[in-house]
Amino acid sequence: MTSERAEVAHRLACLEVRGGNHLAAYSVQLPGLAGWVSCHPLQPSPRGGDVYYMSACSQGVMARVALADVAGHGEAVSTAAGRLRDALRQHVEQWDQSTLIRQLNDTFLKGAQKSLFATAFVASYYSESGELLFTNAGHVPPLWYRATAQEWSYLSDSTPLSKEIFDLPLGLIAGTSYSQTGVQIEPGDLLLMYTDGVSEAYDESKTQLGLERLLSIARSLPTGSAASAGKALLTAVARFRGAAPAADDETVFALQRRVVWK
């Protein structure tokens, strides 16, 4: 088999559902998942460095999602975020997720300014089995609510490979290899992805929210739906900031495995 044919044989058929780096807030349905996303670029820019992406692949067998954060602010960063979304469109049909991220890194590196890089969390969810394969390229760890145990934790703290699942951000070194980790998502489980504009929010006294406080906030969130959890998280972060203005783009991407009633 030629390399070109091998590449075709290892590609999915994916349909883009939604994505972008502009102001938005809405609910969405993906294969086996109910989702909600809120993207709020730093004012007054209409677009920012946070970019989210979601697709449905192989006739609903898989949902593939991504949340990325291009470091910095300004027009160059928002333009780079737009290019990153284009790169996701270009490579999302790659079957192997590790290869997808490597290709994404190389494509982003070619088009971005030398000083720009991006963190990213990319996941493939298999709707029949509930398995989630994820790659974390230097991104802040998602919050994970396990419905059976009724417990919140960080996804990185809930896997046996917690010391190995953080790979380099995108745009640093060409040809970087990326790993992937698998976890089982049960009915009712929630996954809250976010950007560091959320976890690194500051209050009026210049105190940073931080991951410890964020986890404490998560433990009081409603868990009935992705939308209710995501909205409540942003409300709590705004309450923590008080009169202090946002200092970065703030994006939350919430997913919940749908409960199938028999």
Chain segment 49-59, per-residue pLDDT in tens: 999 999 999 88
Residue 244 lies in a domain: yes
Q: Which of 105, 133, 103, 130 is nearest to 120 (CA)?
A: 105
CATH classification at residue 141 = 3.60.40.10
Query: How many domains in the chain?
Result: 1
- In this structure, the strands spanning 118-126 and 250-257 are unpaired
From first to last of its 262 residues, the chain has per-residue pLDDT tens of 333 333 434 678 888 899 999 999 999 999 999 999 999 999 888 899 999 999 999 888 999 999 999 999 899 999 999 999 999 999 999 989 999 999 999 999 987 677 799 999 999 999 999 999 999 999 999 999 999 999 999 997 555 544 455 689 999 999 999 999 999 999 999 999 999 999 999 999 999 999 999 999 999 999 999 999 999 999 999 999 999 999 999 999 999 998 755 4
Residue 2 lies in a domain: no
Tell me how many helices (H) and strands (E) the chain has. 6, 13
Q: How many residues does the chain have?
A: 262
Q: Is residue 147 part of a domain?
A: yes
Is residue 107 in some structural domain? yes
- 34: closest CA among 237, 242, 233, 225? 225
Q: List C-alpha distances in Å: 229 to 5, 23, 67, 87, 100.
A: 44, 19, 17, 30, 30
User: 151-157, long-range: CB within 8 Å, 24+ apart, which pairs?
Assistant: 152/215, 152/218, 152/219, 152/221, 153/215, 154/211, 154/215, 155/183, 155/191
Residue 4 lies in a domain: no
| Residue 1 falls inside a structural domain | no
Distance separating the N- and C-terminal Cα atoms of the chain: 45
For the CA atoms of the chain, what is the radius of gyration?
18
10 Å CB burial of residue 8 (0-12, 13-18, 19+) is: exposed
Q: In this structure, is residue 262 part of a structural domain?
A: no
3-state helix, strand, coil in the chain (%, to 5): 25, 35, 35
Q: Token pair for residue 32?
A: 């086996």
Amino acid symbol at 64: R
Is residue 118 one of the residues assigned to a domain? yes
The pLDDT tens digits for 21-66 are: 999 999 999 999 999 999 999 988 889 999 999 999 988 899 999 9
Structural domain range at position 44:
12-257
